[in-house]
Chains A and B, each alone.
Chain A
Amino acid sequence: MLDPTTYKLFLTISTSSILLPITGGLIAYKKLNRIDTKLLCYFILFAFVEFTMAWTSRHNINNMPILHIFSMFEYLFLTYLFYSSINDEQYRKMIVITIVLFIGFAIFALFYFSGIFEFNTETVTFESLLLVLYSLCYFNYLSKQIIKEQLNVFKIPMFWLSIGVLFYFTGNFFLFLFQKQIAEINPQLWSLHSILNIMSNSLFMVSFLCKLK
């Protein structure tokens, strides 16, 4: 068990770690292409949301509606990145079908499972499942591309982003799934999310920095 001060500090570090990819993006700003610039804008928005969530949480304001909206935006944006990076008709079809499924499920879950003022555990869990699936599809696609072209995957920003996505959403899958139980039995288990968050944000930073050399 962590003492409350350490736990809070841990959460603050995790929230602030969103500044890592932004810093990476600003350092490599001159080398960014259109998609990278969009990604940087996404992280800036993400940081704004994170800090708003932290502030509202401190002032005991229910911030779940923000999470509902942002998780939908997060899913759509990351899916757009995967869709743009995977140049394979079958995968693209699968992504389009799952987008429709996800939106349908999110609306259904909003009315029948977790309301707008509750943690959207079902939607976020389904989102995690889909994003893990997309990242695995991307890696499979990348492994075929390596054979076709002379690629150095470690220099591809999307590779690092996908690693971050795989890491974050696989690690947090059960955390999201059992979020309600965790809140009752031991809220400090949520600190695992903080660790994964810091690590995935570091990987997102690498996705920008790998463009430098």
Chain B
Amino acid sequence: MQTQINISFIIFASAFLAILMVAFVVSFLYITQKRNYKYNESIIQIKQDYESAILNSQIEVQAQTLQQVSEELHDNIGQMLSSVILHIEVLGRKAIPEVKTQAEQTRLLVQEVSEQVRHISRSISPQHIENFGLKDTIQYHADRINRIGVIKIDFKTEGEIREFNPKTELVMFRMVQELMNNAIKHSECENIFIKLKFENERLLISVNDDGKGFDKSQILKNKQFKDGSGLQALEKKARFINCSLTFTSNDKGTKVTLIKDFQNEYN
């Protein structure tokens, strides 16, 4: 009888031990897993914060540099070109009739150069976007490219125009500028279509071209484009201002869409 009780006790104790062991293993792995998730999340957060800080300072340094270059172009080169035009005018008045025509042609050429310098100075200036906003800055940039006449840029807006803070708008403009430059340099397109669509809650920016398209995975694999260069920089900028960025590309062209919620406004 005593043996029976002892054996029964041992057997039930082993079953109880099995339950305890399983409970211990499951809880241990669950806790380890949860801790690890938290740890990884904090690492990702730190990485993102670090990237944002670097990008922020890059944008600020770039903005300052471009502002300086823009001012130099406008105040220095622009003034010098104006003086050259004045001198050519004076020279033309004093010259003999044959030289007068040539002087007039030279004056027009220099005037054209002066005009171009003024445009470049405006388009690279971060001040421009603060003064005129995203829509007008893109319009200005598109008009400048259209004047060259090689590629046609069709720029449209839809919905009631709303503003983001100047830094966000500057990043968005730089992204659109980069997308336009990519299309011009690599896609062999004839037309670029840019659209700003203001909806109630968000802004949709689409940049389409009718070029040869590209394979994103191939570009990222290609050593020539190591660091992901343009694409990764665009993705970083998108993360920086909390906007989503999607690429769709085939042999008929590329479509890039940027979506920025007004609620997630970066400050």
Contact = CB atoms under 8 A, between A and B. Distances in A.
Interface of A: 136, 139, 142-143, 146-147, 150-153, 159, 163, 166-168, 170-175, 178, 181-182, 185-186, 189, 192, 195-196
Contact of A150 (B13, B18, B29, B40): B40
A170 B32 contact: no
Given A136-B25, A178-B11, 18 more contacts: A139-B28, A139-B29, A142-B29, A146-B32, A147-B32, A153-B33, A166-B18, A170-B21, A171-B14, A171-B15, A174-B13, A175-B11, A178-B7, A185-B7, A186-B8, A189-B7, A192-B11, A195-B15
* Chain B contact residues: helix, strand, loop or mixed: helix
Contacts, number: 75
Contacts of B3: 181, 185
B243 to A, nearest CB: 26
B161 interface: no
B18 A171 contact: yes
Contacts of B30: 153
**What are the 7 A-B residue pairs with the smallest beta carbon separation, nearest first?**
A171-B18, A170-B18, A174-B14, A185-B4, A171-B15, A174-B10, A174-B11
B12 A151 contact: no
A186 B4 contact: yes
Given A150-B37, A170-B17, A181 B26 contact: no
A168 B37 CA distance: 30
B36 interface: yes
Interface size class of B (residues with CB under 8 A): 20 to 34
16 contacts: A146-B36, A150-B37, A150-B40, A151-B33, A153-B30, A167-B18, A167-B19, A168-B18, A170-B14, A174-B11, A174-B14, A186-B4, A189-B7, A192-B11, A192-B12, A196-B15
* Chain A contact residues: helix, strand, loop or mixed: helix
A29 B37 CA distance: 30
B96 interface: no
Nearest to B7: A178
Contacts of B14: 170-175
Nearest to A148: B36
A192 B117 CA distance: 91
Contacts of B32: 143, 146-147
A189 B11 contact: yes
Contacts of B13: 174
A163 B37 contact: no
Contact of A166 (B11, B21, B33): B21
B148 interface: no
Which interface residue of A171, A175, A185 has the most chain B CB atoms within 10 A? A171
Interface string B114-129: 0000000000000000
Nearest to B37: A150
A168 B17 CA distance: 11
A173 B13 CA distance: 11
Contact of B26 (A136, A163, A185, A186): A163
A185 B6 CA distance: 11
B18 A196 contact: yes
Contacts of B40: 150
